[in-house]
Structure 1
Amino acid sequence: MSKTTRATQALDKAGVAYETCTYAYDPDADKIGMQAAQSLGVSPSMVLKTLMVLADSKPACVVVPSDCEVSMKKLAAALAAKSAQMMKPADAERLTGFVVGGISPFGQKRAVPTVMEQAALAHPQVFINGGQRGLQVKLAPADALKALGAKAAAVVA
């Protein structure tokens, strides 16, 4: 597995300190983030999943702990939109340039508004997909927020 992806290159370009961590990706796992947390031996609240959404029909990205569900109502409010819904997987892959299970908020083909669950900022380190299945980057959540130009908000149900 290559540990250099568009995501890690974006972090390098932003001057963000991170560590790459690999795990055995299970394509049959019900919840990929939860499976990653178990494989890495860390709390699911420290492994953040990247979800692609449509807010008022415009693409956006939300990064939340893998053991949480997004409140579309709260997310829409955070994005100053009337409504939000999940993006279809094929559309998410086309927009980001990453495959489902390997979608990272870093290094996407096109920059989109991004929201990170503010509770994630309570951890000294979090794990976020590194741009391919089985690759996570471990970094300070504040650094991730800054590198993404993201907004922190309470968006979980």
Structure 2
Amino acid sequence: MTPAINVARKARIPFQIHEYTHDPAAASYGLEAADALGQPPERVFKTLLVALNGDPRRLGVAIVPVSGQLDLKAVAAALGAKKASMADPGDAERATGYVVGGISPLGQKKRLPMALDSSAGNFPTLYMSAGRRGLEIEMAAEDLIRLTGAIMAPIGR
């Protein structure tokens, strides 16, 4: 059981857990998950941490499809910052309590400002990390937003 699954269970929202065998040699954790689950990469989302305004202590969370990239200018604007850069992996792990490649938007150690790419509205449910490599949680975007306080914005490209 991961903190992400515990949060979803406690909230009593509909969700499903999907497990697959993670290959440590995989070039992309997200694309590996999409392939293993037989889902289009546009429906599987990755959780990325950004440093806002150049401050490694001021982090934000961006959730975008594994098929694309994060638009740093767009996520900065969505989270009320002037600029954003990718957070240091060690800072991301300390802030979330998860390891890179298994960072879930749910159940993070610290409540951080969060933005979900607006393409999430194109699907009845989304797949995202459930807190470790090889474990995904599937739920509706509305439930993810309700549980995390995320805002929906066009932050992917």
**Short-chain TM bin:** over 0.9
Instruction: Give the equivalent residue in structure 1 for 2:44.
Output: 47
SS at 1:36 equivalent: helix
Conserved? CA contact 2:126–2:138, under 8 Å: yes
Structure 2 letter corresponding to 1:39 = A
State the identity %: 38
Describe how 1:91-110 pairs up with structure 2 within 5 A.
91-110=91-110
5+ long unaligned stretches in structure 1: none
Instruction: Please give the alpha-carbon distance, in whole angstroms, between the structure 1 residues aligned to 2:73 and 2:123.
Output: 25
The answer to whether the aligner puts 1:64 opposite 2:67 as a matched pair is: no
Conserved? CA contact 1:48–1:127, under 8 Å: yes
Q: How far is the alpha carbon of 1:140 from its aligned partner?
A: 1.0
Instruction: Please give the alpha-carbon distance, in whole angstroms, between the structure 2 residues aligned to 1:156 and 1:64.
Output: 6
Structure 2 letter corresponding to 1:50 = T
Conserved? CA contact 1:115–1:151, under 8 Å: yes
Q: How far is the alpha carbon of 1:14 from its aligned partner?
A: 2.3
Conserved? CA contact 1:102–1:132, under 8 Å: yes
Instruction: Give the equivalent residue in structure 2 for 1:141.
Output: 141
The answer to whether the aligner puts 1:20 opposite 2:17 as a matched pair is: yes
Instruction: Give the equivalent residue in structure 2 for 1:87.
Output: 87
Instruction: Please give the alpha-carbon distance, in whole angstroms, between the structure 1 residues aligned to 2:21 and 2:137.
Output: 15
Conserved? CA contact 1:118–1:153, under 8 Å: yes
Instruction: Please give the alpha-carbon distance, in whole angstroms, between the structure 2 residues aligned to 1:88 and 1:62.
Output: 14
Instruction: Please give the alpha-carbon distance, in whole angstroms, between the structure 1 residues aligned to 2:12 and 2:60.
Output: 24
Instruction: Please give the alpha-carbon distance, in whole angstroms, between the structure 2 residues aligned to 1:142 and 1:44.
Output: 20
* TM-superposition CA deviations, 1:41-75 (whole Å, max 9, x none): 01001110000111122111111111110110111
SS at 2:131 equivalent: coil
Instruction: Give the equivalent residue in structure 1 for 2:4.
Output: 7
Structure 1 letter corresponding to 2:15 = Y
Query: How many residue pairs get matched?
Result: 154
Q: How far is the alpha carbon of 1:13 from its aligned partner?
A: 2.1
Q: How far is the alpha carbon of 1:103 from its aligned partner?
A: 0.6
Instruction: Please give the alpha-carbon distance, in whole angstroms, between the structure 2 residues aligned to 1:13 and 1:61.
Output: 22
Instruction: Please give the alpha-carbon distance, in whole angstroms, between the structure 2 residues aligned to 1:14 and 1:118.
Output: 23
Q: How far is the alpha carbon of 1:111 from its aligned partner?
A: 0.5
